[in-house]
Amino acid sequence: MKKNRIWLVVLGLVAASASIPFLNSCHKGGSTASAVGGDAAAKVYVAPGKYDEFYSFVSGGFNGQMSVYGLPSGRMFRIIPVFSVFPENGYGYSEETKPMLNTSHGLVPWDDLHHIAMSETKGEQDGRWAFGNANNTPRIGRVDLKTFRTTEIIEVPNSAGNHSSPFITENSEYVVAGTRFSVPVDDNADVPIDSYKKNFQGSISFIKADEPGKMDIAFQLRLPGVNFDLSRAGKGKSHGWFFFSCYNSEQASTLLEVNASQKDKDFILAINWKKAEEYTKAGLGKKEKVTYAHNYLDETTHTATSTIKNEVLVLDYRDPALKDLFYFIPCPKSPHGCDTDPTGEYIVGSGKLAAIIPVFSFTKIQKAIANKTYDGDFDGIPVINYEAVLHGEVQKPGLGPLHTEFDGKGFAYTSFFVSSEIVKWNIEKLEVVDRVPTYYSIGHLSIPGGPTAKPHGKYVIAYNKITKDRYLPTGPELTQSAQLYDISGEKMKLLLDFPTTGEPHYAEAIPAELLVKNSVKIFKIEDNKHPYVAKGEKETKVTRQGNQVHVYMTAIRSHLTPDNIEGVKLGDEVYFHVTNLEQDWDVPHGFAIKGANNAEILIMPGETCTLKWKPDRIGMFPFYCTDFCSALHQEMQGYLRVSPA
């Protein structure tokens, strides 16, 4: 085994400099086990009964969910379904939550969630909400951190591939969403694909976010037909500005490499959104007809409603009155990440195919705009001279820079997909000071509070794209993986691997105390305003309206009432409205019935949830509580008889 260990260290070094994940056959498990410091175990150990210091809200990619992990332990605490149905608790199956997944295309019960934005006050995390994006059918969702539930979803019109979102402003005034695909703005426009340059437009939407239930598109910017990729809001001195990376400035409809990467430089789009806001208040912009859904889960009835909206205020870049809102900054080769440092002075671009990292200065951008230091224009938008706004370039940082986070101590940490590493560099001096390998091919990275004005430092987490030999082989598909590094010292130290669910893209972690502070333990039964509530067993009943049968049911340890139901006929639709009468923390009851083709419902104390069921045959249908709730949990059961019509 000793020989093996040396071999492992060597392999670890090779992996640090090589981009290609290797397959080793000489040992069980990954390559760094022996390269990890001796105190790593103690540093990630959280004693039984203790909380983790931070909780990371990790995007689930193609599972459409967020999941919550403790840091430093890497323990998973919760999956929060946002854009995808979740049979575990009936999200998207219960009558109350179905409308959450409504869109202008009808019910869309799946999506691809890439980015998380935690709410902020004065540039700091405040623990109120977590926002996430749906890439595929463009939407933004709000998770309320009082309950860890998705409570609001808004669809984004004139958008396709809502990847460039959500990005949040310093006081959660707006969550902002840019379209990845430019599209003909009339959604139904039947135009030839090769008319891209003429007919396809980009859009960036400013969605009001600071009031639950009131999410709305305050205004939408109409932009040239490029692909918007990633962004951050300005902060501190640059509050009022937004910076978006964009690629495909060739404006090609097919992105075969020859097309999309012809140009040496693409762009970062700088937007003066404070001014855009002023213009809308002054009555500028044009209202256009569109169709999009706004879905909201009411806090008193716990029931979602979906409203279709028909209008959006558009600020068009071609409008001469709006000329001073937009500026392009050249950025080398297919920029991906675009991040602003905690002071708001520096904007870091990451060209996926570039060999340097350009860092731009907000002060210089302001100066260049004042002096019109432009190199012509792109589609009428001024292109600022690259050198005039450059703070400097990080030379030879690594291969394939993607994303950058900050520790609040003057350092930036950039992920390198191709060379599979995290590189730490000094923002002022632009000097690389440390690098560590990741296993393998890191995508996003995350420092708790990293995108805010006040990062908490301490850890950086790598969210990797390839797992290879790090975990138990589980057939062709391996688990997704994250890695935790200690960044409290000069050198980064790998502490822990932990598996994640779905495909993690961005994640944002916040201190435990921000979550503990606001958490709701039960819903008060006296506050329950659900239209089908039964606030005690005496209020339970079965009613009929035509072929709809409504069962007002209660659940309390250890019985469901009523538990013998007759009078249901084949052809009826049965609605089980189950109220959980418990008023103790952590005593949910569940409900499921044989043959139901949707899911169970899981009802929290004081809440009412509804499962719709259409029996498919005559006979006896047992139902039961699905959540082990007391010593007599198995006794929480009943029968429903279905008779001929």
Q: How far apart are CA 156 and CA 133, in angstroms?
A: 10
| Closer residue to ligand CUA in complex, CB, 585/628 | 628
Q: How far apart are CA 234 and CA 169, in angstroms?
A: 8
CB of 534 to ligand CUA, least distance (A): 16
Q: Does the footprint of ligand CUK cover residue 232 (CB under 6 A)? A: no
The single-letter code of the amino acid at 543 is T
Q: Does the footprint of ligand CUA cover residue 611 (CB under 6 A)? A: no
Kindly tell me which residue out of 118, 402, 533, 574 binds ligand CUK, with binding defined by CB under 6 A.
402
Q: Measuring CA to CA, how many Å separate 586 from each of 200, 514, 580, 583?
A: 51, 20, 12, 9
Q: Does the footprint of ligand CUA cover residue 559 (CB under 6 A)? A: no
Residue nearest to ligand CUK (CB): 443
Query: What residues numbered 410-469 form the site for ligand CUK, per CB under 6 A?
Result: 443-444
| Closer residue to ligand CUA in complex, CB, 226/629 | 629
Q: How far apart are CA 90 and CA 304, in angstroms?
A: 13
Query: What residues numbered 592-631 form the site for ligand CUK, per CB under 6 A?
Result: none
| Closer residue to ligand CUA in complex, CB, 332/588 | 588
CB of 248 to ligand CUK, least distance (A): 16
Tell me the three state secondary structure of residue 365: helix
CB of 552 to ligand CUK, least distance (A): 45
Q: How far apart are CA 523 and CA 520, in angstroms?
A: 8
**Cα dihedral sign for 472, 473, 479, 484?**
positive
Mark residues 149-188: x for contact with ligand CUK by CB under 6 A, - for none. Answer: --------------x-------------------------
The single-letter code of the amino acid at 156 is V
Q: Does the footprint of ligand CUK cover residue 115 (CB under 6 A)? A: yes
- Angle among Cα 196, 200, 205 to the nearest 5 degrees reads 155
Cis peptide before 562 (omega within 30 of 0): yes
**Cα dihedral sign for 246, 351, 434, 346?**
negative
Contact (Cβ atoms closer than 8 angstroms) between residue 467 and residue 31: no
CB of 230 to ligand CUK, least distance (A): 6
Q: Does the footprint of ligand CUA cover residue 537 (CB under 6 A)? A: no
Kindly tell me which residue out of 73, 84, 114, 339 binds ligand CUK, with binding defined by CB under 6 A.
114
| Closer residue to ligand CUA in complex, CB, 218/611 | 611
Q: Which of 480, 477, 440, 438 is nearest to 460 (CA)?
A: 438
Contact (Cβ atoms closer than 8 angstroms) between residue 496 and residue 40: yes
Partner interacting with residue 114 (select from ligand CUK, ligand CUA, none; CB below 5-8 Å by kind): ligand CUK
Mark residues 105-134: x for contact with ligand CUA by CB under 6 A, - for none. Answer: ------------------------------
Paired tokens of 292? 């999009």
Q: How far apart are CA 497 and CA 483, in angstroms?
A: 4
Partner interacting with residue 633 (select from ligand CUA, ligand CUK, none; CB below 5-8 Å by kind): ligand CUA
Q: Does the footprint of ligand CUA cover residue 603 (CB under 6 A)? A: no
Query: What residues numbered 484-513 form the site for ligand CUK, per CB under 6 A?
Result: 505-506
- Cα of first residue to Cα of last residue in the chain, in angstroms, is 73
Contact (Cβ atoms closer than 8 angstroms) between residue 562 and residue 554: no
| Closer residue to ligand CUA in complex, CB, 596/625 | 625
Mark residues 579-598: x for contact with ligand CUA by CB under 6 A, - for none. Answer: ----------x---------
| Closer residue to ligand CUA in complex, CB, 604/625 | 625
Contact (Cβ atoms closer than 8 angstroms) between residue 601 and residue 93: yes
Q: Which of 376, 348, 418, 531 is nearest to 20 (CA)?
A: 418
Q: Does the footprint of ligand CUA cover residue 277 (CB under 6 A)? A: no
| Closer residue to ligand CUK in complex, CB, 402/601 | 402
* Beta-bridge partner residues of 552: 541, 577
Q: Backbone phi, then psi, for 293, in 5-degree steps?
A: -100, 145
Q: How far apart are CA 168 and CA 234, in angstroms?
A: 10
Q: Does the footprint of ligand CUA cover residue 627 (CB under 6 A)? A: yes
Contact (Cβ atoms closer than 8 angstroms) between residue 251 and residue 226: yes
Kindly tell me which residue out of 633, 637, 639, 641 binds ligand CUA, with binding defined by CB under 6 A.
633
Q: Which of 149, 154, 146, 163 is nearest to 101 (CA)?
A: 154
Stretch of 308-316, 490-498, 503-511, 621-629 lying at the interface with ligand CUA (CB under 6 A): 621-629
Q: Which residues bind ligand CUK (CB under 6 A)?
A: 114-115, 163, 230, 336, 402-403, 443-444, 505-506
Q: Which residues bind ligand CUA (CB under 6 A)?
A: 555, 589, 625, 627-629, 633, 636
